[in-house]
Structure 1
Amino acid sequence: MQLDSLSYVELVQLKTDVEAEIARREQEEKAKARKQILEIARNFGLSVEDVLSKPAATRKPVEAKYRHPEDASLTWTGRGRKPVWVVELLAAGKTLEQLAI
């Protein structure tokens, strides 16, 4: 097809026809893809909800690195803000090395 031989009106009509065909084919391709995805999910025994849901992030707890010298129930992992008891002991002259487990 020689585009330079078409008139402006013919080019506009061609553009409209091409866009309509693209939209139609996009619908077909999406329907095929949806069918394939469902088939694969069924083959693996998965529901649509299983496929679309994110797996729950399982984070293992971080071990404590610091412990209060007098109250063993007070611990800190060393992450995040320092607990009040750590701040108070540091202000009293203790070091983190002295609080290390």
Structure 2
Amino acid sequence: MNNLESLSLKELKQLQKDVDAAITEFKDRERKKALAEVEAFAKERGLSPSDLSELTSKRTRKAAVPKYANPADDSQTWTGRGRRPRWIEAALAEGKSLEDMTI
């Protein structure tokens, strides 16, 4: 191994680039090796690539349906999830209940 103290700044930066490239190449090789192992494992069990893609598919969630509407402006609605809108807070402060604003 080189004595790092004897290297110039330019040589150290080149060494750093070389090490970064070597690390990237190593990670790529390991990833490809792991993928090949997974593929072989799946093939042994009769699974196709589309079967494996189910592992990474994300579930979609339907948009929440509004449960409350502002009596003064029907275009303002709230699902009941998350932080209460200002108009809900104002109505509650006036003595109304959530049931009064239910759609």
Superposed displacement of residue 47, structure 1: 8.4
Give unmatched runs, 5+ long, in structure 1.
Answer: 1-29
Structure 2 CA distance for aligned equivalents of residues 86 and 61 of structure 1: 20
Structure 1 CA distance for aligned equivalents of residues 89 and 57 of structure 2: 38
Q: Does 1:46 align with 2:46?
A: no
Superposed displacement of residue 80, structure 1: 1.8
Structure 1 CA distance for aligned equivalents of residues 91 and 99 of structure 2: 12
Under a length normalisation based on structure 2, what TM-score does the superposition of the two structures give? 0.51
Give 1 or 2 for the bigger CA radius of gyration.
Answer: 1
Structure 1 CA distance for aligned equivalents of residues 99 and 50 of structure 2: 51
User: What RMSD, in angstroms, separates the aligned Cα atoms of the two structures?
Assistant: 2.7
Q: Does 1:82 align with 2:84?
A: yes
- Please give the per-residue CA displacement for 1:39-65, whole angstroms capped at 9, x wherever unaligned: 6344xx5387x36x6212210111111
Structure 1 CA distance for aligned equivalents of residues 75 and 42 of structure 2: 51
2:64 is matched with 62
More strand by share: 2
2:12 is matched with none
Structure 2 CA distance for aligned equivalents of residues 99 and 55 of structure 1: 38
Dislocated runs of 4+, deviation >4 Å: none
Structure 1 CA distance for aligned equivalents of residues 83 and 74 of structure 2: 19
Give unmatched runs, 5+ long, in structure 2.
Answer: 1-35
Structure 2 CA distance for aligned equivalents of residues 92 and 64 of structure 1: 22
Aligned residues: 67
